[in-house]
Amino acid sequence: MKTPTLSIPMRILVVAIICLSLSEGLAQTTLTNEQRLQWFRDAKFGLFIHWGLYALPAGEWKGIVYPGASEWIMYRAQVPVKEYEPLAQQFNPTRFNAEEWARLARDAGMKYLVITSKHHDGFAMYHSAASKYNIVDATPFKRDPMKELADACKKYDLKFCFYYSQAQDWHEANGLGNDWDFGPDSMKTFSQYFVEKAIPQVREILTEYGPIGLIWFDTPRTMNAAQSKELANLVHQLQPACLVDGRIGNEMGDYKTKGDNRLPSGATEMDWETPATMNTSWGFKKSDDNWKSPKQLIRALVEVTAKGGNYLLNVGPTDEGIIPGPSVQRLKDVGAWLKVHGEAVYGTRMAPWTIPPEWGMITSAQGKLYLHVFDWPTDGKLELHGLKNRVSTASLLDDHTRLKFEQKLGEKPGEPSLLITVPATPPDSNVSVIALDIEGPPNVSPQIFQEKSGTVTLFGLLAQVHNAGMPGIRKDDTGIRDWTNGDNWLSWDFTIDRPGRFRIDLGSYAITSGSGRTRKTLFEGGHQLMLGVAGQGLSFKADSSRTERPSPYFTDVVSEAGEVTISAPGSYTLQLRAKQLVTFQGNGCVVRWIRLRPVQEEARR
C-alpha cells in the first residue's frame, strides 16, 4: 500500500503548524500556579462582600434574634424554602452604587474584591440562566449588580472576584445543608444538583463578567475529590489566570484559606488568605455592633502580611445596598494608614524570621526590612536580634527621618543584635514603621534569643519533636497539636545574655466558637507535664484557668509551670515531657508556646 509522503520542507511546515496550535492551546490551559499567584502575592489586601437576601431579615426572624452570622438565618431558624423565597420580592437595593463600593475599596488600599455570587441560601445575586432564583428575574430591582461591579472594579483597578457556595444550597432538593425541607444530605443526589446548578452557574460567573481574579468556593462538605477537581479544572479551563481558593475541598486550590479570622503563630509558608469580619457577622446583621477597632484591623493586616498571607476583610451591605457606616469608617482608617505605609505592605514578602519579635511584625523586600512596631519602646531603644546582614540605614517610613543605630555582628550570647535609637513617642498611633536598608538577601540566625524585656518565648512551631514519625503529635501553623503520645517529647535551644530568675508559662490554644450552651473549646486541660531547664525540673498541670488575647474565635490558654534560675549567660536547652496526656473530643495537648519571663527584682526581695 502506498502511503502519502510529504517533501522535507512540507513536513517541517506541518510539524511547525501542529506545534504552534498545540502551544497556543497549552497557553490557554497551563498557566503555572506561580504565574497565577503573582498578583495575589503582591496584593495583600482585599474586600470581601457578603450580600444577599439575608440582608433583609438582618439576623432576626419572626421577632427572634438568632445567634451567629446573619447569612445563616435560613438554617438557624429552619425557614422553609417556601417562606424564604418571597424575600426576593422585597429585595430592592435602590441605593446600590457599584462605583461607590469600588472607590471605597480602592481608597481603603485594597487590590481585589470578592462578592457573594451565591451563598448557602442558593439565591444568585447575578443574572443566572441556570436558575430563575436570581436578582434579575426574582426581584423588583431587576438590575444585575455584578455587571455594574465588574465595570467599576475595572475602572478602579481592582481584581473582580466571586464567592460561590458550591456544595451547600438550601434552596435545592439535592443541594447540601437543608434537612428541614429535604431530609438528610445522605439521602440526596448531590451529583444531580452539582451538574444541574453548581457547574452551570460557575460557568456563568466565569464567562459573563470579564476577567475574574479568583473564585472563592466555601464549605465543600461531602464533595468528593473528583468533584473538587472538576470544578477547579472548569475554572482554569474557562479562565486560566483565575485562582481557586483553598475551600474548594479535598486539599485542592491554588492557595490555602485559613479559618475565619485566624492568624498563624509564625511565618512558615506563603500563599494563604485569612477571611475576616469587622464585627461578628458576615452578612448585614442589625444587632451586631461588636466592631473591631481600626487599630486591630490595621495590625491584623500587618500580621497577616508579615506571616506570608493576604487579608480579606468583609463588609455586609444592607438590603438597600448601603455599606454600614462603621464599616466605611474603618475602611477609610485602614486606607489612611496604608497611604503612608503602603511601601511596607504591598509587594513585600513575609518576615525572614519564623516568629515575630515581641514589639511587632517584620516584612521584607529587596534590600529592605520593614519593622512594624506595635509596642513602641518607652526608653527610646528598639532591639532586633538575629539579623546577620549589615544595616546601612534606618529611618522612619512616614517622614524619612534618619535614625541612629548600633549593630553587633559578633558571637556573644544575644548577638547578632541591632539597637535603634527611636523618638520618645510613636510616629503613628496604629503601627509605626521603621525601614532598614540591608546589604544582601536577608540572613537570619535560627537561634532563639532573649528579647529586650528579658523574656524568651519558645514557640511550638520551633520545637524539636522527639520520637516523631508515628501518630500522637503533629505541628501545624498554631504550634504543637494533638499531642497524645507520651513517648513524644519536645525541646528548644535558646540563648540567654541576661541571666536571672524566670517564671515559666505554657501557652495553649483554644478554639472557642459559638456562645453560651453551644460554646466549643478545643482545650480542656488536665495534662500532666514535666519541664527541665538548666538542671532544674518542674512538674505541672496544663489547665485552662487563665486566658490571654481572648476573642470570639480563639484564645491563648495559659498555665503556670513554676520558676527556675538561670545563673550564667550562654546556650540552654529546655525539654518538655508528658507524664499524662488527656484526650478531649479527639484532641490532645496543644503547645503554642513556652515563655520564660524574668521575675522582677522587687518581687524577689
Q: How far is the CB of 489 from ligand JFZ (least distance, A)?
A: 30
Q: How far is the CB of 71 from ligand JFZ (least distance, A)?
A: 5
Residues 6+ apart with CB under 8 A from 231: 166, 198, 199, 202, 217, 244, 248
Residues 91, 282, 311, 337: which binds ligand JFZ (CB under 6 A)? 282
Paired with 161 in beta bridges are 114
Residues 67, 86, 200, 259: which binds ligand JFZ (CB under 6 A)? 259
- Rank residues 119 and 330 by Cβ distance to ligand JFZ and give the closer one: 119
Q: How far is the CB of 58 from ligand JFZ (least distance, A)?
A: 14
- Rank residues 262 and 368 by Cβ distance to ligand JFZ and give the closer one: 262
Q: Does 275 bind ligand JFZ (CB under 6 A)?
A: yes
Q: Does 493 bind ligand JFZ (CB under 6 A)?
A: no
Classify residue 347 as left (phi > 0), alpha (psi -120 to 50) or beta: left
Q: How far is the CB of 48 from ligand JFZ (least distance, A)?
A: 7
- Rank residues 273 and 415 by Cβ distance to ligand JFZ and give the closer one: 273
Closest CA to 485 of 463, 469, 503: 469
- Rank residues 275 and 427 by Cβ distance to ligand JFZ and give the closer one: 275
3-state SS, residue 448? coil
- Cell matching residue 75: 438554617
Q: Which stretch binds ligand JFZ (CB under 6 A): 27-35, 69-77, 134-142, 576-584?
A: 69-77
- Rank residues 172 and 505 by Cβ distance to ligand JFZ and give the closer one: 172
- Rank residues 259 and 570 by Cβ distance to ligand JFZ and give the closer one: 259
Helix, strand, coil distribution of the chain in percent, nearest 5: 25, 30, 45
DSSP 198: I
How far apart are alpha carbons 73 and 282 in whole angstroms? Answer: 12
123 C-beta neighbours (distance < 10 Å), count: 28
Q: How far is the CB of 57 from ligand JFZ (least distance, A)?
A: 14
Query: Which residue's C-beta sits nearest to ligand JFZ?
Result: 259
CA 575 distance to own-chain centroid: 31
Q: Which stretch binds ligand JFZ (CB under 6 A): 5-13, 35-43, 51-59, 64-72?
A: 64-72
Q: Which of residues 195-254 bind ligand JFZ (CB under 6 A)?
A: 218-219
Contact 299, 31 (CB under 8 A): no
Q: Which stretch binds ligand JFZ (CB under 6 A): 68-76, 104-112, 449-457, 575-583?
A: 68-76
Question: Residues in contact with ligand JFZ, total (CB under 6 A)?
Answer: 9
Q: How far is the CB of 104 from ligand JFZ (least distance, A)?
A: 20
Q: Which stretch binds ligand JFZ (CB under 6 A): 65-73, 148-156, 248-256, 522-530?
A: 65-73
Q: How far is the CB of 522 from ligand JFZ (least distance, A)?
A: 12
What stretch of H or E contains 361? strand 360-365
Q: Does 333 bind ligand JFZ (CB under 6 A)?
A: no
Q: How far is the CB of 69 from ligand JFZ (least distance, A)?
A: 5
- Rank residues 101 and 282 by Cβ distance to ligand JFZ and give the closer one: 282
How far apart are alpha carbons 567 and 107 in whole angstroms? Answer: 54
Q: Does 260 bind ligand JFZ (CB under 6 A)?
A: yes
- Rank residues 260 and 543 by Cβ distance to ligand JFZ and give the closer one: 260
Q: Phi and psi for 225 in degrees, rounded to 5?
A: -60, -35
Q: Which of residues 369-398 bind ligand JFZ (CB under 6 A)?
A: none
Each residue 13-52 as x (binds ligand JFZ by CB under 6 A) or -, in order, gives: ----------------------------------------
Q: Does 288 bind ligand JFZ (CB under 6 A)?
A: no
Q: How far is CA 11 from CA 1, 2, 7, 25, 339, in A?
A: 21, 18, 6, 21, 59
**56-65 residues labelled b (16+ CB within 10 A) or e (exposed):** bbbbbbeeee
Residues 6+ apart with CB under 8 A from 295: 429, 430
- The CA-based diameter of the chain, rounded to the nearest angstrom, is 107
- Rank residues 69 and 351 by Cβ distance to ligand JFZ and give the closer one: 69
Q: Does 71 bind ligand JFZ (CB under 6 A)?
A: yes
Burial of 474 (0-12, 13-18, 19+ CB in 10 A): middle
336 C-beta neighbours (distance < 10 Å), count: 16
DSSP 569: S
Closest CA to 512 of 504, 523, 528, 503: 523
- Rank residues 301 and 566 by Cβ distance to ligand JFZ and give the closer one: 301
Q: How far is the CB of 433 from ligand JFZ (least distance, A)?
A: 30
How far apart are alpha carbons 530 and 589 in whole angstroms? Answer: 13
Q: Does 337 bind ligand JFZ (CB under 6 A)?
A: no
Residues 69, 384, 504, 531: which binds ligand JFZ (CB under 6 A)? 69
Q: Which residues bind ligand JFZ (CB under 6 A)?
A: 69, 71-72, 218-219, 259-260, 275, 282
